[in-house]
Chains A and B, each alone.
Chain A
Amino acid sequence: MAAIKNILLVGVGGQGTILASKILSSGLVMAGFDVKMSEVHGMSQRGGNVSTQIRFGEKVYSPIIGKGEADLIVAFEKMEALRWLEYLKKGGKMVINDYEIPSAPILMGKVAYPQGIIEELAAKADISVFKAAEIATGLGNSKMMNVVLLGALVKALNVPGIDWEQVIKDNVKANFADLNIKAFNMGLAQV
């Protein structure tokens, strides 16, 4: 049986992790994989952290993974990369958006946003870091950050034979398709 691959998308409510994981899982289904995708939401819209787990292979049983099992973690926010580090498999890869969203205790000035996260993660794992927000803003729409990150994810994942441009077209509004594909391709070039 082909080994199951585990991907973890982590971020903060409102960052668009759900759409990115939806596009990703549609592509994997089209490629003929058995796919399970699990998300924890509920209070995510109220500033909490969000995570989506995607597992694919010949036959997937559990919809969720445990610690040390993710082949790839894509963090939409820097501190979330640190929070989920223990889910990374030894030898796994991390794609990190160099972007900070302070949480409530930080906003209130009770604690500082941790410094040196990237250096710490670089010492522990194989990481790719870039500023997806700047790329998205450069495209004229900061909301495209999630699709830029999806591009980087797909590159890092390296599953051949999937027509991602078509998958994107199938999953976004027609008048945004070109912009999304552009954002996706810029993400591809980052890893």
Chain B
Amino acid sequence: MKELMTGNEAIARGAYEAGAVFASAYPGTPSTEILENVVLYKDKIYCEWAPNEKVALESAIGAAIAGARSLSTMKHVGVNVAADPLFTFAYTGTNGGFVLISADDPGMHSSQNEQDNRNYAAFARILMLEPADSQEAKVYTKLAFELSEKFDTPVMLRVTTRICHSKSLVELEDRIEVSMKKYGKNIGKYVATPANGKVMRYKLEDRIKAMETYSNNTDINTAMYHGSDIGVISSGVAYQYAREVFGDEASYLKLGMTYPLPMDKIKEFAKKVKKLYVIEELDPYIENQIRMAGIDCIGKEIVPSIDELNTDILRKAVYGIESEAVTSEMAAVVRPPTLCAGCPHRGFLQVLSKKKNVMISGDIGCYTLGSAPPLLAMDTCICMGASVSAGHGAAKAFANAGLDTRVVSVIGDSTFFHSGVTGLMNVAYNKSNCITVILDNRITGMTGHQQNPGTGFTLMGEPTVEVDIELICQAVGIPKSHIFVINPLDLKETDQALTAALALDDASVILAKWPCILKKFSDQDKEDFDLSPGKCEINQEICTKCKTCVRTGCPAIHSGDNIEIDEVMCTGCAVCMQVCPFNAISREVK
């Protein structure tokens, strides 16, 4: 039976068919839907959202050492967070099969950078597979578990946005039940002390040699000879672009296993063609190794190493042909993503954006959209959790220089659990005067509503304990008197909290609690919050068209001949009503 599947669905299916029993991940585009599909097989695969990628990877490592076929999935930058255990796990090796899915985002559709994680495989010395469509995503996931057990190594399955989010046909097969490998205490193998580590280090080199032999012999590294004029070496989605641009006349060496590279096979292929191209998206990962082996090729001198590839870019790079496009002098107006109508972040950021002499240390989440006009309520955005720790550093630097600029660090609930907690510990311990704002919208919002340790539910839908953010803040050393719990949609309350926090000489926390408007509300949400208020309306006789409401950036407010509120989009959050200087906006009383 064949089904159209995204790469992410196919990876989940592959894990199921391979007999995997454990999966742990932190959501991140373009990887998120893998676990959201693994959970469909929850009677066979235990799966969970971990607080961050390091915890996810370590949990899967533990399960694998215990003997279970395990996987961990994350976006490319998530692997940075999880890199520490990954590098040492490469030394110890595994027991049950272990697969890490790294979902890279060339072109930065939804990411802060476009790092090429193939470099991690070579850096950490772990076997790497690169599927080029959904069928391969499934087949390679299954193969990854087998190879992990065969070579006693973690395996990285490296995919990209176009593999994750494209659909193509997949042949479904049955699940193979794989029994747990026997666990036995083995200190020499699993305790990475310096003495043991040195032994492991030498064994690792032997393993790489064995994997290289496999790489030279496996048919997932396939040569397809059509002619001797042009040869193309490629992997992943780049192969699909190359196949289309070079057509049926060129010969191809399609690589499915890209660490270690099959250098013997590459040498043999290079000898048989007159002109050798290496077509890669992002870094010259394959090209550099080929050149180091003394083989001449054409690669990054013509193919861009920035942004994602497509057939257009490649055709232009190889043949200098520009596509014939229909063009127009008329331009479409940009359509940037915005905070939704009714988003609780808007209330808080609206108030914060009015504060003077404040540096806003930002983070990764929907609230990052507050950096755009009209709010402009964010000065920095580096990575998950950086708001709190970078904010601490900035506050120290301002204070040491005798400047009175204050720092407000803004972070979401899921991001706070991910890596904001340790930053806050530093704020309290090393005594900076940061104001840390936790925008708790009761869900992981940006990636499409995943449960997290604060929501009271697990990925598998079971009720569970909730993190008490207020107590965590107190536990790390922020006194109760310095913690302000507010409703961010109440602008007066928000302003009072910010003013009070700014008046303090030491660190404080503002916990702004209101659920994401798009969230499926839990019974608890319905009990705790008034989630179905009446809609807002502008009295056109009073409205002076001053546009103060428009400058909240609410997409439900239309500015034309009159200023009007779209009654379908309005959720009754009443931020506009509170900013209106003329009391022209009212909310329907229910």
A residues adjacent to B (C-beta < 8 A): 12-13, 25-26, 29, 34-49, 60-69, 79-80, 82-83, 85-88, 90, 92, 102-109, 111, 113-114, 116-117, 120-121, 124-125
Contacts and interface: CB of A to CB of B under 8 A. Distances in A.
Q: Which one of B312, B372, B547 has the highest number of Cβ atoms from chain A below 10 Å of its Cβ?
A: B312
Interface of B: 2, 4, 29-30, 109-110, 133, 162, 165-169, 237, 240-241, 243-244, 310-313, 315, 323-328, 330-340, 366, 369, 372-374, 446, 448, 518, 547, 550-551, 553, 555, 557-560
A85 B328 CA distance: 8
B168 A35 contact: yes
B241 A62 contact: yes
Given A35-B169, A42-B29, A106 B338 contact: no
A47 B369 CA distance: 11
A90 B327 CA distance: 10
10 contacts: A36-B133, A62-B244, A63-B240, A64-B162, A68-B323, A85-B326, A103-B333, A106-B333, A107-B558, A125-B326
A36 B109 contact: no
B110 A42 contact: yes
A83 B133 CA distance: 28
B165 A40 contact: yes
B373 to A, nearest CB: 8
Contact of A65 (B311, B518, B551): B311
Contacts of B166: 36-39, 63-64
Nearest to A73: B326
A82 B330 contact: yes
Contacts of B327: 85-86, 124
Given A38-B166, A103-B335, A114-B330, A68 B325 contact: yes
Nearest to A113: B333
A120 B324 CA distance: 18
A2 to B, nearest CB: 14
Interface-central residue, B167, B372, B559, by most chain A CB under 10 Å: B167
Contacts of B547: 108-109
Contacts of A26: 4
Given A61-B244, A124-B326, A43 B331 contact: no
Q: Which of A12, A37, A47, A49 has the most CB of B within 10 A?
A: A47
A121 B553 CA distance: 31
A176 B442 CA distance: 33
Given A87-B325, A102-B558, A42 B109 contact: yes
B326 A90 contact: yes
Contacts of A49: 335
A27 B494 CA distance: 53
B4 A37 contact: yes
B241 A82 contact: no
Contact of B332 (A39, A42, A83): A83
A65 B312 CA distance: 8
A81 to B, nearest CB: 9
For chain B, what secondary structure do more than half of its interface residues adopt (helix, strand, loop), or is it mixed?
loop
A107 B241 contact: no
Contacts of A46: 337-340, 366, 369
Given A82-B332, A88-B326, A107-B557, 16 more contacts: A35-B169, A38-B162, A46-B338, A62-B243, A63-B166, A63-B237, A66-B311, A68-B323, A69-B323, A79-B332, A80-B332, A86-B328, A90-B326, A114-B333, A117-B330, A120-B330
A62 to B, nearest CB: 5
Contacts of A86: 325-328
A60 B166 CA distance: 12
A104 B369 contact: no
Nearest to A84: B332
Given A38-B162, A48-B337, A109 B559 contact: yes
B168 A90 contact: no
A27 to B, nearest CB: 11
A90 B324 contact: yes
Contacts of A62: 237, 240-241, 243-244, 310-311
A116 B328 CA distance: 12
B323 A25 contact: no
A36 B167 contact: yes
Contact of A29 (B169, B312, B315, B366): B169
Contact of B550 (A34, A41, A60, A108): A108
A41 B330 CA distance: 26
Contacts of A39: 165-166
A79 B169 contact: no
A63 B308 CA distance: 13
B336 A63 contact: no
A66 B313 contact: yes
Given A62-B310, A83-B332, A25 B4 contact: yes
A48 B555 CA distance: 11
Contacts of A35: 4, 167-169
Contacts of B311: 62, 64-66, 69
B244 to A, nearest CB: 5
Contacts of A64: 162, 166, 310-311
Contacts of B109: 40, 42
Taking each of B366, B555, B558, which has the highest tally of chain A beta carbons within 10 Å of its own beta carbon? B555
B165 A38 contact: yes
Given A108-B374, A108-B551, A82 B328 contact: yes
Contacts of A47: 335-338, 340, 555
Nearest to A35: B4
Nearest to B336: A104
B213 to A, nearest CB: 30
Contacts of A113: 333
| Listed residue (A36, A45, A61) with the most chain B CB atoms within 10 angstroms of its CB | A61
A105 B240 contact: no
B168 A63 contact: yes
Nearest to B335: A103
Contact of A42 (B30, B330, B553, B558): B30
Nearest to B557: A107
A108 B4 contact: no
Contacts of A45: 340, 448, 518
A68 B324 contact: yes
A37 B167 contact: yes
A43 B162 contact: no
Contacts of B330: 82, 114, 116-117, 120
